[in-house]
């Protein structure tokens, strides 16, 4: 512990010295009689307990002086409990994401999805959120973070040129990397279930089987939601897609099919309403103020001193 204003200590010492000197100067002269020797006998001395109000008052002044010197702890950590979860968003960046979101719409599927993801992130104030993209392979764009402003800039950074040379849809790879990102976080245990939200516009066409990745996620207490982006009937009726949607529901997640920007936003809002939990995060603080360690006891001592002065046994009778 250190003090931000240690120079005030000299002023307090000077004030105490002045007060002590003034008290000595104001003492009344004592006249002694031939029997005054009795006054120096221990049997006739005033009990030291009667000085308790003065001692307590001096302690209060000392504590107040220390509090006014602004004591701080150079480094402190605090655990903050909040309603939140660890969430990884897995975004499909296959070639088909460059198609229009709907007929006549100037926005691509990727543009509409990015807008829905940013809106989702803005509503999850207490969550730690990460971003994974996938096409032929999966990549981490942002680790889990509470800095949602930086995460929004990373989302803006994602475009069709980011994975140039790739164009397939490896949903299983995206799920596996999202799972690894969640379970490898420091202090990840004890947070309750974790969440992966997958945004994709097609079936798995490359990489590992997404059903196995879903099973591994469920074993790690990770819930997976899948948001299909403009999935037409032909794609949804494929056996692999049907098996994936059934598996998502089997392991406790929800699946959606959004054919417009408004439906994308509605899907993200539904997931937002479903997923609530308790998150414990550790924050670090430099020069944490601890003046209350001294100010509160000082107030208690002041109150005790004045309360004792109201008791007749502690009042000087002259």
What's the CATH code of the domain at 105? 3.40.50.410
Tens-digit pLDDT string for the chain (318 aa): 677 777 777 777 777 776 666 666 665 555 555 555 555 555 545 566 667 777 777 787 788 777 777 777 766 555 555 557 899 999 999 999 999 887 777 889 999 999 999 999 999 888 899 999 999 999 999 999 999 999 999 999 999 889 988 989 999 999 999 999 999 876 544 445 799 999 999 889 999 999 999 999 999 999 999 999 988 888 889 999 999 999 999 999 999 999 888 999 999 999 988 887 655 555 556 666 777 777 888 788 878 777 877 777 666 554
Verdict on whether the full-model pTM lies above 0.75: no
The pLDDT value given to residue 69 = 77
Whose CA is closest to 265, among 178, 199, 170, 203? 199
In a domain, 286, yes or no: no
Residues 202 and 101 in one domain: yes
In a domain, 100, yes or no: yes
Q: How many structural domains comprise the chain? A: 2
Range of the domain at 10: 2-24+34-70+291-314
Residues 187 and 54 in one domain: no
The per-residue DSSP string of 151-197 comes to HHHHHHH--TTTTTT-----HHHHHHHHHHHHHTSTT-TTS--EEEE
Residues 225 and 310 in one domain: no
In a domain, 29, yes or no: no
Q: Do 203 and 228 touch, CB atoms closer than 8 A? A: no
In a domain, 176, yes or no: yes
* Calpha distance 71→221 (Å, rounded): 44
* Calpha distance 191→252 (Å, rounded): 18
Residues 256 and 212 in one domain: yes
In a domain, 271, yes or no: yes
Residues 303 and 164 in one domain: no
Residues 147 and 231 in one domain: yes
């Amino acid at each position: 512990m250190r003090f931000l204003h240690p120079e005030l200590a000299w002023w307090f010492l000077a004030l105490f010295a002045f007060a002590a000197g003034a008290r000595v100067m104001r003492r009344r002269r004592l006249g002694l009689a031939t029997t005054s020797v009795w006054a120096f006998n221990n049997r006739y001395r005033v009990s030291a307990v009667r000085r308790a109000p003065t001692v307590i008052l001096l302690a209060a002044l000392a504590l107040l002086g220390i509090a006014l010197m602004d004591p701080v702890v150079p480094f402190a950590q605090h655990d903050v409990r909040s309603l939140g979860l660890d969430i990884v968003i897995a975004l499909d960046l296959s070639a088909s994401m460059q198609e229009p979101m709907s007929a006549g719409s100037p926005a691509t599927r990727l543009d509409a999805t990015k807008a829905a993801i940013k809106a989702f992130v803005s509503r999850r104030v207490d969550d730690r959120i990460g971003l994974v993209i996938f096409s032929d392979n999966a990549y981490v764009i942002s680790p889990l973070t509470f800095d949602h402003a930086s995460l929004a800039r990373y989302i803006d950074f994602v475009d069709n040129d980011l994975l140039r040379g790739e164009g397939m849809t490896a949903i299983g790879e995206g799920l596996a990397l999202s799972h690894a990102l969640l379970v490898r976080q420091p202090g990840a245990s004890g947070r309750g279930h974790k969440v992966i939200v997958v945004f994709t516009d097609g079936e798995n066409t490359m990489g590992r089987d997404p059903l196995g990745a879903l099973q591994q996620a469920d074993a790690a207490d990770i819930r997976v939601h899948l948001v299909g982006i403009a999935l037409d009937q032909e794609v949804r009726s494929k056996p692999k897609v049907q098996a994936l949607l059934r598996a998502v529901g089997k392991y406790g997640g929800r699946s959606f099919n959004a054919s417009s920007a408004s439906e994308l936003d509605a899907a993200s809002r539904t997931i937002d309403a479903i997923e609530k939990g308790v998150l414990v995060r550790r924050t670090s603080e430099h020069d944490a103020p601890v003046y209350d360690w001294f100010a509160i006891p000082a107030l208690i001592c002041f109150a005790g001193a004045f309360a004792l002065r109201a008791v007749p046994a502690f009042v000087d009778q002259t």
